[in-house]
Chains A and B, each alone.
Chain A
Amino acid sequence: MLQVSIYRYNPEVDNAPHMQEFEFDTEGKDLMVLDVLEAIKAGHDSSVTYRRSCREGVCGSDGLNINGKNGLACITPLSETVKNDKLVVRPLPGLPVIRDLVVDMSLFYAQYEKIQPFLKNNSPAPAIERLQSPEDRSQLDGLYECILCACCSTSCPSFWWNPDRFIGPAGLLQAYRFLADTRDTATDERLSKLDDPFSVFRCHGIQNCVNVCPKGLNPTKAIGHIRTMLLNRAT
Chain B
Amino acid sequence: MRTISFDGVIVGGGGAGMRAALQLSQSGYKTAVISKVFPTRSHTVSAQGGITCAIASSDPNDDWRWHMYDTVKGSDYIGDQDAIEYMCSVGPEAIFELEHMGLPFSRTEEGRIYQRPFGGQSKDYGKGGQAARTCAAADRTGHALLHTLYQNNVKNETVFFNEWFAVDLVKNQDGAVTGVIAICIETGETVFVKSKATVFATGGAGRIYASTTNAHINTGDGIGMGLRAGVPVQDMEMWQFHPTGIYGAGTLVTEGCRGEGGYLVNKDGERFMERYAPNAKDLAGRDVVARSMVLEILEGRGCGEHGDHVKLKLDHLGEDVLESRLPGICELSRTFAHVDPVKEPIPVVPTCHYMMGGIPTNVNGQAITVDEQGKDHIIPGLYACGEVACVSVHGANRLGGNSLLDLVVFGRASGLFIESALREGIELRESAQSDIDVAGERLRHLNESSGGENVADLRRELQNTMQNHFGVFRRGDFMQEGIAKLAELRGRVESVSLDDKSDAFNTARIEALELQNLFEVAEATAVVAEARNESRGAHAREDFTERDDENWLCHSVYHSEGKKVSKRGVNFTPSTVETFEPQIRSY
A interface residue numbers (CB < 8 A to B) = 10-13, 41-43, 46-47, 49-61, 75, 77, 98-100, 102, 105, 109, 113, 116-119, 121, 125, 127-134, 136-137, 140, 144-145, 147-148, 178, 181, 183-184
The docked-state distance in angstroms from the alpha carbon of A60 to that of B41 is 7
User: Can you list 21 A-B contacts (CB < 8 A)?
Assistant: A41-B456, A43-B456, A46-B454, A46-B499, A46-B511, A47-B508, A53-B42, A54-B41, A56-B251, A57-B332, A59-B37, A77-B335, A99-B504, A121-B100, A129-B105, A131-B110, A136-B107, A137-B104, A140-B104, A178-B102, A183-B102
User: Nearest Cβ distance between residue A92 and chain B, in whole angstroms?
Assistant: 14
B336 at the interface (CB under 8 A from A): yes
A98 contacts B107, C-beta separation under 8 Å:
no
Q: Which residue of the partner chain, among B46, B108, B454, contacts A134 with CB atoms under 8 Å?
A: B108
B216 contacts A53, C-beta separation under 8 Å:
yes
Q: Which 5 A-B pairs have the closest CB atoms?
A: A119-B102, A42-B456, A131-B111, A129-B99, A118-B151
The docked-state distance in angstroms from the alpha carbon of A42 to that of B112 is 49
B450 at the interface (CB under 8 A from A): no
A99 contacts B216, C-beta separation under 8 Å:
no
Binary contact track B34-69/A, C-beta < 8 Å → 1, others 0: 000110111101100000000100000000000000
The docked-state distance in angstroms from the alpha carbon of A148 to that of B154 is 15
Residue of B38, B504, B508 with most partner-chain A CB within 10 A: B504
B384 at the interface (CB under 8 A from A): no
B46 contacts A56, C-beta separation under 8 Å:
yes
Known: A118-B155, A129-B96, A130-B99. A147 touches B499 (CB 8 A): no
Known: A43-B456, A49-B507, A137-B106. A12 touches B502 (CB 8 A): yes
A75 contacts B335, C-beta separation under 8 Å:
yes
User: Nearest Cβ distance between residue B566 and chain A, in whole angstroms?
Assistant: 36
Could you say which residues of chain A place their CB within 8 Å of the CB of B331? 57
Q: Which residue of the partner chain, among B110, B143, B511, contacts A145 with CB atoms under 8 Å?
A: B143
User: Nearest Cβ distance between residue A95 and chain B, in whole angstroms?
Assistant: 14
Main secondary structure of the interface of A (DSSP, over half): loop
User: Nearest Cβ distance between residue A152 and chain B, in whole angstroms?
Assistant: 16
Could you say which residues of chain A place their CB within 8 Å of the CB of B216? 52-55
Known: A49-B505, A134-B107. A60 touches B40 (CB 8 A): yes
Could you say which residues of chain B place their CB within 8 Å of the CB of A148? 38, 40
Binary contact track B191-215/A, C-beta < 8 Å → 1, others 0: 0000000000000000000000001
Chain A: CB-nearest residue to B100: A125
The docked-state distance in angstroms from the alpha carbon of A164 to that of B502 is 31
The docked-state distance in angstroms from the alpha carbon of A50 to that of B508 is 10
User: Nearest Cβ distance between residue A64 and chain B, in whole angstroms?
Assistant: 14
A137 contacts B107, C-beta separation under 8 Å:
yes
Residue of A61, A75, A100 with most partner-chain B CB within 10 A: A61
The docked-state distance in angstroms from the alpha carbon of A77 to that of B334 is 12
B503 at the interface (CB under 8 A from A): yes
Known: A47-B502, A61-B41, A119-B102. A131 touches B112 (CB 8 A): yes
17 more CB-based (< 8 A) A-B contacts, given A140-B104, A144-B104: A12-B502, A46-B499, A49-B505, A53-B216, A55-B251, A57-B332, A58-B45, A58-B328, A61-B37, A118-B154, A129-B105, A132-B107, A133-B107, A137-B104, A137-B107, A148-B38, A181-B102
Chain A: CB-nearest residue to B252: A56
- Interface of chain B residues 487 through 514 with chain A (CB within 8 A): 499-500, 502-508, 511
Could you say which residues of chain A place their CB within 8 Å of the CB of B107? 132-134, 136-137
User: Nearest Cβ distance between residue B567 and chain A, in whole angstroms?
Assistant: 37
A98 contacts B37, C-beta separation under 8 Å:
no
Could you say which residues of chain B place their CB within 8 Å of the CB of A41? 456, 508
B186 at the interface (CB under 8 A from A): yes
Could you say which residues of chain A place their CB within 8 Å of the CB of B399? none
Known: A129-B96, A131-B112. A102 touches B505 (CB 8 A): yes
The docked-state distance in angstroms from the alpha carbon of A30 to that of B100 is 44
B321 at the interface (CB under 8 A from A): no
Could you say which residues of chain B place their CB within 8 Å of the CB of A134? 106-109, 111
Could you say which residues of chain B place their CB within 8 Å of the CB of A58? 45-46, 140, 143, 328
The docked-state distance in angstroms from the alpha carbon of A57 to that of B143 is 11
Binary contact track B75-114/A, C-beta < 8 Å → 1, others 0: 0000000000000000000011001111011111111110
B382 at the interface (CB under 8 A from A): no
Q: Which residue of the partner chain, among A54, A99, A117, contacts B46 with CB atoms under 8 Å?
A: A54
B21 at the interface (CB under 8 A from A): no
User: Nearest Cβ distance between residue B320 and chain A, in whole angstroms?
Assistant: 13
B288 at the interface (CB under 8 A from A): no
The docked-state distance in angstroms from the alpha carbon of A105 to that of B336 is 28
Could you say which residues of chain B place their CB within 8 Å of the CB of A147? 40, 45, 143
B396 at the interface (CB under 8 A from A): no
User: Nearest Cβ distance between residue A20 and chain B, in whole angstroms?
Assistant: 14
User: Nearest Cβ distance between residue B334 and chain A, in whole angstroms?
Assistant: 10
A11 contacts B504, C-beta separation under 8 Å:
yes
Q: Which residue of the partner chain, among A119, A127, A145, contacts B140 with CB atoms under 8 Å?
A: A145
Q: Which residue of the partner chain, among A49, A102, A144, A178, contacts B144 with CB atoms under 8 Å?
A: A144
User: Nearest Cβ distance between residue A78 and chain B, in whole angstroms?
Assistant: 13
A118 contacts B102, C-beta separation under 8 Å:
yes
The docked-state distance in angstroms from the alpha carbon of A153 to that of B100 is 29
The docked-state distance in angstroms from the alpha carbon of A61 to that of B37 is 8
Binary contact track B242-268/A, C-beta < 8 Å → 1, others 0: 000000010110000000000000000
Known: A11-B504, A59-B45, A130-B99. A46 touches B455 (CB 8 A): yes
Known: A105-B38, A118-B155. A55 touches B215 (CB 8 A): yes
The docked-state distance in angstroms from the alpha carbon of A205 to that of B557 is 60
The docked-state distance in angstroms from the alpha carbon of A102 to that of B111 is 43
A46 contacts B508, C-beta separation under 8 Å:
yes
The docked-state distance in angstroms from the alpha carbon of A178 to that of B155 is 14
Could you say which residues of chain A place their CB within 8 Å of the CB of B455? 42, 46
Binary contact track B262-295/A, C-beta < 8 Å → 1, others 0: 0000000000000000000000000000000000
The docked-state distance in angstroms from the alpha carbon of A133 to that of B105 is 11
User: Nearest Cβ distance between residue A131 and chain B, in whole angstroms?
Assistant: 3
Could you say which residues of chain A place their CB within 8 Å of the CB of B502? 10, 12-13, 47, 99
B390 at the interface (CB under 8 A from A): no
Binary contact track B327-344/A, C-beta < 8 Å → 1, others 0: 010011001100000000
Q: Which residue of the partner chain, among A10, A56, A129, A137, contacts B504 with CB atoms under 8 Å?
A: A10
User: Nearest Cβ distance between residue B380 and chain A, in whole angstroms?
Assistant: 33
A117 contacts B154, C-beta separation under 8 Å:
yes
Could you say which residues of chain A place their CB within 8 Å of the CB of B100? 119, 121, 125, 129-130
A57 contacts B335, C-beta separation under 8 Å:
yes
Chain A: CB-nearest residue to B92: A128
